[in-house]
């Protein structure tokens, strides 16, 4: 039952992992979202906020993903908006604390609620909302569940959060000019999700990988383990990368060591699941035996690892 709840939880990319955590969340005093989100300048004019290494709860206000913004001479681009409208407003306040320039683009790196549900805070800025050309459909099919779960788990902390689909879809690649600063956007094959998008700031060589890179927190497969491994090989060979920003975990990571750690986890998962399928193991047997030593190497293993084995099994059994 515990595993089922955890799996459901991940499927909805939601909230507390267990009934006991749920109960604790409902009785705990909600942490009010700070009025101004804390941000770090990682490179000139490029700021990021580090989310909590956790699932979304009332206490953390759904602030579990890394989000940020980039400033040009003409305007500002936001990269992901956080897990609630309140977090989006706090991110907007952080932008206003460092520049009066208008927000012209709100980029969503993929469909997951911790990256998109702060969009509402930027509507009055009339930006282009930018995402993969597969993002709108993915959001449409998941929005009701995302919002239902968010409201259930966060209560009034979730107020005003809603899905705002892209107005500027990206097919393959797109350059956004912020004024003397170009962001190169790129979509990828199905990996973390089927609508992953990265942002490369040409001026500083910063590659915002979002959830194509989990650092310290266990990678979550909501797309394809094989696609993700292919994408990582391509990403690792990209020229000119000075730094990368993960979607979860520390804002400053060793490059390419952080990518290699994620690749090793995913590659081993694929290898072990293939072996289990060849040996005639059921999905449940695979879930019970594969990667049980990963606890301690990554945060949130208990929440996500079994789901990853399940996803990899479902994907790989068809290649036999």
Residue 178 or residue 231: which is nearer to Zn ion going by CB? 231
* Shortest Cβ 196–Zn ion spacing (Å): 9
Residue 112 or residue 186: which is nearer to Zn ion going by CB? 112
CB neighbour list of residue 154: distance below 8 Å, 6 or more residues apart: 15, 30, 56, 57, 58, 61, 62, 84
Phi, psi of 221 (to 5 degrees): -95, 115
* Shortest Cβ 98–Zn ion spacing (Å): 26
* Shortest Cβ 194–Zn ion spacing (Å): 12
Residue 63 or residue 211: which is nearer to Zn ion going by CB? 211
* Shortest Cβ 112–Zn ion spacing (Å): 3
* Shortest Cβ 252–Zn ion spacing (Å): 20
Binding site for Zn ion (CB under 5 A): 112, 211
Residue 71 or residue 265: which is nearer to Zn ion going by CB? 265
Residue 112 or residue 263: which is nearer to Zn ion going by CB? 112
Residue 61 or residue 223: which is nearer to Zn ion going by CB? 223
* Shortest Cβ 276–Zn ion spacing (Å): 26
Structure tokens given for 309: 């084995």
**How far apart, in whole angstroms, are the C-alpha atoms of residue 156 and residue 6?**
23
* Shortest Cβ 256–Zn ion spacing (Å): 21
DSSP result, the chain: -HHHHHHHHHHTT-S-SSHHHHHHHHHSPPPPPPSS---EEEETTEEEEPPPSS---TTTTT--S-EEEEE-SS-EEEE---SSHHHHHHHHHHHHTT--S-EEEEE--SS-HHHHTTGGGGGGG-PEEEEETTHHHHHHHHHHHHHHHHHHHHGGGGTT------SEEESSEEEEE-SS-EEEEEE-SSSSSSS-EEEEETTTTEEEEEEEEESSBPP--SS-HHHHHHHHHHHHT-TT--EEEEEES-SS--TTHHHHHHHHHHHHHHHHHHHHHHTT--HHHHHHHTTGGGBTTBBTHHHHHHHHHHHHHHHHGGG-
Residue 153 or residue 211: which is nearer to Zn ion going by CB? 211
Residue 201 or residue 211: which is nearer to Zn ion going by CB? 211
* Shortest Cβ 110–Zn ion spacing (Å): 6
């Amino acid at each position: 039952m515990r595993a089922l709840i955890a799996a459901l939880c991940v499927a909805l990319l939601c909230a507390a992992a267990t009934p006991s955590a749920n109960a604790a969340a409902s009785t705990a005093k909600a942490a009010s979202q700070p009025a101004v989100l804390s941000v770090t300048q990682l490179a000139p004019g490029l700021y990021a906020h580090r989310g909590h290494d956790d699932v979304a709860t009332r206490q953390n206000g759904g602030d579990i993903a890394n989000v940020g913004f980039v400033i040009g001479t003409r305007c500002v681009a936001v990269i992901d908006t956080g897990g609630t409208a309140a977090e989006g407003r706090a991110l907007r306040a952080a932008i206003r604390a460092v520049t009066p320039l208008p927000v012209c683009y709100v980029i969503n790196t993929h469909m997951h609620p911790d990256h998109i549900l702060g969009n509402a805070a930027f509507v009055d800025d009339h930006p282009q909302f930018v995402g993969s050309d597969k993002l709108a459909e993915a959001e449409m099919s998941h929005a009701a569940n995302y919002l239902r779960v968010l409201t259930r788990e966060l209560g009034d902390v979730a107020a005003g959060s809603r899905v705002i689909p892209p107005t500027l879809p990206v097919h393959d690649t797109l350059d956004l000019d912020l004024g003397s600063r170009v962001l190169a956007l790129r979509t990828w094959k199905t990996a973390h999700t089927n609508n992953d998008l990265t942002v490369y700031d040409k001026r500083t060589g910063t590659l915002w990988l979002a959830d194509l890179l989990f650092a310290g927190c266990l990678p979550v497969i909501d797309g394809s383990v094989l696609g993700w491994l292919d994408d990582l090989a391509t990403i690792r060979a990209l020229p000119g990368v000075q730094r990368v920003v993960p979607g979860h975990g520390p804002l400053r990571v060793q490059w390419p060591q952080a990518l290699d750690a994620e690749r090793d986890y995913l590659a081993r998962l694929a290898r072990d699941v293939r072996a289990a399928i060849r040996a005639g193991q059921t999905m449940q047997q695979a879930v019970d035996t594969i990667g049980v030593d990963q606890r301690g190497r990554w945060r949130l293993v208990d929440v996500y690892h079994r789901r990853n084995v399940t996803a990899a099994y479902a994907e790989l059994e068809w290649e036999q």
